[in-house]
Structure 1
Amino acid sequence: MSNEVDREWQKENTENGIRTVTFGSWMQFQEYINTQFIHDSEYVFRGHRCDNWLLEPTLSRLIKAQPHLASLPSEKLNDLAERHYFDFQYAIRGRSREQSQEMVGDYLWALGQHYGLATPLLDWTNSPFLAAFFAFVENGEPQTEYRVIYAIAKEMVEQRCKQFRSKGNNEAEFVYFFSPLSQENPRLVNQGGLFSRCPLHIDLETWVRKYHDEAWEVPVLLKLRIPNLERDVCLRSLSRMNINHLTAFPDLFGASQFCNMATSLKGYSHHLGRPRPARLRLGRTS
């Protein structure tokens, strides 16, 4: 990734392996991606609705929400995660097309993540624009002034963890990435998705600050902030790129959510085709 950044973008100084770039518009973000990342495949991306949300997995959030668990030391957290894992392995017997004895380790965690299980995984995508879709698609309160797309250099992170392993470091500190082969998650294919397995006791941004290597010439983690006010233009632009609920969620859920979005964004459903299906009369049917 180039270290040159156009002056019109407000860029904070890179600190401890993390660079924050704040854009004034969606168009500036697009230009930045198309110039800074066009030849770079090392980074993977993740979108957050609020720019103050931590890069931490759902299992960490579940633990922090329970006072009797939040103060547990890291080794006890790992024991808790192991019990949670085996509970799920037994709970899915007879309920999954996948054979639970074949779905082991991170692949079982990934299956659970797809169906709402709290896990030590974070979702990522190879597409910065799909990450932007996930950052902007939901509305809610409270809402920060900016939405954020994170970009992380996964090979640099994994190389750092190889150094830890060679020195005999505690594996509870490791971060690594993987792509599961499960047949039960077609969304993962459409989303260019992969996962990171993260420690439960530390969020990923803090991890990068703690373990970054001074020899690295490019940032390990980027925080790309886009104004929340740009939501409508962002979602219309992404839909023109064929990035919307229909493509991100190739199922009835995606179709339903796409139609819901089309009620609030004029012209959003332009590519559903013509002629439209015959209209149904409103009211009771005889």
Structure 2
Amino acid sequence: MGIKIINVKTAEAAFDVLTKLAVPDRNIVFRGHRQDSWRLESTLARHVRKGASTELAIIGMDEAISHFLACLAEVGKLPSPPMNNRAKLEYARHHGVPSPLIDFSHSPYVALWMAFDGVRPWDDGATAIYALDVNALGILWRKHVGSGAAFDDFRWSERREQFTAGYDLNVLRYLEFPLSWNTRMLRQMGVFVYDALQYGHRDVPYRDLEDFIDKGIDSTLDDKPVTTLHKIIVPNSAASEVFERLELMGITGTRLYDNHEGAAADVKNSYVFNRRTGYAHDVIVPK
């Protein structure tokens, strides 16, 4: 079973489903989408023209990241820690440069905040939270490649340095540990899936990673089917209660982003619920 879709109607039901998925199994990671129609794919795949060469896009990552860093140097914002290819890719991705990295989090609640950020409960539609079984995806990748070593290469990428010869093509990898100085990713309990598959080609006849999981060879464990991906769909109407619960858990934009962007997000989201944070004794509030 590749993908299992779960529709819930309330915030309480969403928290219940996500908690049950997260607590017993550390191999599940989560990702939130503001609209349930958005596909599971990298920002690079969304950015380039459909049908364009994935190979050229991956090869062009070096130039794109160099451009990004040169622009930062121009305004005195170049980060000081030394960076290898992986660090450059991670840093660029977390600041908006399209890349083959797909963000996930160990926390379903961080993913829930990401899904509902900017959502208004009076608008029609729904959000989606993806729960990915990392081991099951590794098994699926191993079966697709036809090599036992493919699972280890995907699942245990941290055992060797990545991207020493540039950014690899036609691979899936799970990058579990962030840079020590990437406070944003650390706060978000973030992980990455590196997706550099050439979708639409003969060897990968799928639309994107979501299609690969849905239509690829089923993952099995002890000869029993394993659900690789859960997609939990939550209506926009649950936004107020979602934010109320997450705020009580200490999950806010200010803390997740650690900058002005997160603080501004909290102000906008506060229009849909009665906040308890964002007050300070020494900040004068006009009558």
The answer to whether TM tops 0.5 is yes
> What do residues 241-286 of structure 1 show as CA deviations (whole Å, max 9, x unaligned)?
2111132122333233323433x13421x244564633358xxxxx
Q: CA deviation at 1:86?
A: 4.7
* 1:190 maps onto 2:187 in alignment: yes
CA contact (8 A) 2:140 2:219 kept: no
Give the letter aligned to residue 279 of structure 1: V
Closer, same or farther in 2 for the Cα pair 1:35/1:115, shift >3 Å?
closer
CA contact (8 A) 2:3 2:230 kept: yes
Cα distance in 1, alignment partners of residues 210 and 42 from structure 2: 12
Q: Secondary structure at the match of 1:222?
A: strand
Q: CA deviation at 1:132?
A: 0.6
Matches within 5 A, 1:171-182: 172-178=169-175, 179-181=177-179
Closer, same or farther in 2 for the Cα pair 1:214/1:38, shift >3 Å?
closer
CA contact (8 A) 1:212 1:220 kept: no
> What do residues 57-85 of structure 1 show as CA deviations (whole Å, max 9, x unaligned)?
11111112xxxxx3334434433345434
Q: Secondary structure at the match of 2:91?
A: helix
Structure 1: 5+ residue stretches without partners: 1-14, 65-69, 282-286
Give the letter aligned to residue 61 of structure 1: R
Q: Percent of counterpart pairs with the same letter?
A: 23
Give the letter aligned to residue 206 of structure 1: D
Cα distance in 1, alignment partners of residues 126 and 93 from structure 2: 27
Find the partner of 2:235 among 208, 213, 227.
Answer: 227
Give the letter aligned to residue 226 of structure 2: V
Match of residue 137 from structure 2: 157
Give the letter aligned to residue 213 of structure 1: D
- Provide the TM-score with structure 2 as the length reference: 0.76
Q: CA RMSD in A?
A: 2.9
Cα distance in 1, alignment partners of residues 260 and 38 from structure 2: 29
- Provide the TM-score with structure 1 as the length reference: 0.76
Q: Secondary structure at the match of 1:256?
A: helix
* 1:97 maps onto 2:95 in alignment: no
Find the partner of 1:247 among 222, 234, 255.
Answer: 255
Closer, same or farther in 2 for the Cα pair 1:279/1:18, shift >3 Å?
closer
CA contact (8 A) 1:180 1:194 kept: yes
Cα distance in 2, alignment partners of residues 74 and 95 from structure 1: 30
Match of residue 51 from structure 2: 71
Match of residue 35 from structure 1: 20
Q: CA deviation at 1:155?
A: 2.4
* 1:258 maps onto 2:266 in alignment: yes
Deviates most, 211-220 or 103-112: 211-220
Find the partner of 2:95 among 115, 127, 134.
Answer: 115
Give the letter aligned to residue 72 of structure 1: A
Deviates most, 249-258 or 76-85: 76-85
Q: CA deviation at 1:128?
A: 0.6
* 1:54 maps onto 2:52 in alignment: no
